[in-house]
C-alpha cells in the first residue's frame, strides 16, 4: 500500500462513504487531512488507523460529542489521560449494559424459536 491514499481508497478500506470521511474531518473527529497540489485529500497510514478507530467507536454507539472529546484530549498530561480514561470507562459501562440487554432479548427469542420448532415436530 502506498503511503498516501485517496478519499476513494480510504472509503473502500473503511466502508465509510467519502461524505462521512469529509464530515469526520470537518467536525474534528480526525485531523485535517493533507492535500495534494491539486487540492485532493491525501490520507496517510496514521489517518487510516485513526479513521478506523473512530468508526469502531461510532459503531459501538459512542456519541460524536464523546468521540470529539476523546480524540481531542491530549495524551501528554495526566488531565488528558484522565479525561480519555473517563470517556472510555463510561462507554465500556454503557456497552456492557447494552450487551446484557441484548443477551436477555436473545434468550427470549431462543425460547420462542424452540417453542416453534417443537410445534413443527409434533
What the chain holds in terms of domains, given with CATH numbers, is 7-121 (1.10.1660.10)
Q: Which is nearest to 48 in space by CA: 64, 34, 63?
A: 34
Residue 18 pLDDT: 97
CB atoms closer than 10 angstroms to residue 13: 14
Provide, rounded to the nearest whole percent, the portion of the chain with pLDDT above 90.
86
Q: Output the pTM of the full model.
A: 0.80
State pLDDT tens for residues 21-52. Answer: 999 999 999 989 999 999 999 999 899 999 99
Residue 75 pLDDT: 84
Q: Sorting pLDDT into bands at 50, 70 and 90, what band is 109? A: very high
Amino acid at each position: 500500500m502506498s503511503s498516501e491514499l485517496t478519499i476513494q481508497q480510504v472509503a473502500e478500506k473503511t466502508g465509510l462513504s467519502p461524505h462521512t470521511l469529509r464530515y469526520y474531518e470537518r467536525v474534528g473527529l480526525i485531523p485535517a487531512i493533507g492535500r495534494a497540489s491539486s487540492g485532493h485529500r491525501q490520507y496517510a497510514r496514521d489517518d487510516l488507523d485513526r479513521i478506523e478507530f473512530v468508526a469502531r467507536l461510532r459503531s459501538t454507539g459512542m456519541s460524536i460529542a464523546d468521540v470529539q472529546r476523546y480524540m481531542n484530549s491530549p495524551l501528554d498530561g495526566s488531565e488528558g489521560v484522565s479525561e480519555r480514561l473517563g470517556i472510555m470507562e463510561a462507554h465500556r459501562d454503557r456497552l456492557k449494559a447494552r450487551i446484557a440487554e441484548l443477551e436477555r432479548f436473545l434468550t427470549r427469542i431462543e425460547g420462542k424459536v424452540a417453542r416453534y420448532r417443537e410445534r413443527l415436530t409434533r
